[in-house]
Amino acid sequence: MAAVDLTSHPGHLARRLQQAHYLLWNTMVSEEITSPQFAVLNALVAEPGLDQRTVGERVGLDRSTIAEVISRLTRRALLDKVRDPQDGRRFLLALTEDGLRTHRKLTVRTARMNQVFLSPLSAEEQTLFLELIQRVSDAAEGLRNPAEPLVDQG
């Protein structure tokens, strides 16, 4: 049996892309705050007072992962959890002053990291790449609910 050409396997390429992102993130952005943690901070800058479930949906993290990310950010005093006055079972999230400062600092660093990450592509290719990867990412969200087929089976 012949070896498979993994350069035609999107999962293999996505893993390699993720490795490159992780390396750049740790060297150019932060060794303390992860990319998913930054995504949560960013979601709460955009929409302060969201609940944990909604933040998870906004940033594409499952329930257990978002719970762990929220827990870590709370322990670092970057965000506060406040009980929802309309629903005592829910907690609303808000960035602390340290959380806002951290977000501002990392936003500048992520912009530079993204420039480096996308530098092999022309401006037009960067736009196309981001559009395509967004489309695939959005479609992959359907995998979380297998009752809804991604492709017409007919």
- Entry field: residues in the chain: 154
What pLDDT, on a 0 to 100 scale, did the predictor assign at position 14?
Answer: 93
Residue 44 lies in a domain: yes
Residue 78 lies in a domain: yes
Nearest Cα to Cα of residue 73 among 86, 61, 85: 61
Instruction: Please give the chain's pLDDT, 154 residues, in tens.
Output: 899 999 889 999 999 999 999 999 999 999 999 999 999 999 999 999 999 999 999 999 999 999 999 999 999 999 999 988 888 888 899 999 999 999 999 999 999 999 999 999 999 999 999 999 999 988 887 776 655 555 554 4
Residue 6 lies in a domain: no
Residue pair 83/91 in contact by the 8 Å Cβ criterion: yes
Residue 72 lies in a domain: yes
| 12's tokens | 């293999």
Q: Residue 61's domain spans which residues?
A: 14-142
Q: What is the CATH number of the domain that holds 136?
A: 1.10.10.10
- How many domains does the chain contain in total? 1
Residue 87 lies in a domain: yes
- Could you please report the per-residue DSSP string of 92-145? EEEE-HHHHHHHHHHHHHHHHHHHHHHTTS-HHHHHHHHHHHHHHHHHHGGGG-
Cα–Cα separations (whole angstroms), residue 31 to 11, 20, 79, 95, 109: 26, 15, 19, 20, 12
Residue 2 lies in a domain: no
Residue 154 lies in a domain: no
Residue 7 lies in a domain: no
DSSP state of 88: T
How many C-beta atoms lie closer than 10 Å to residue 135's C-beta?
10
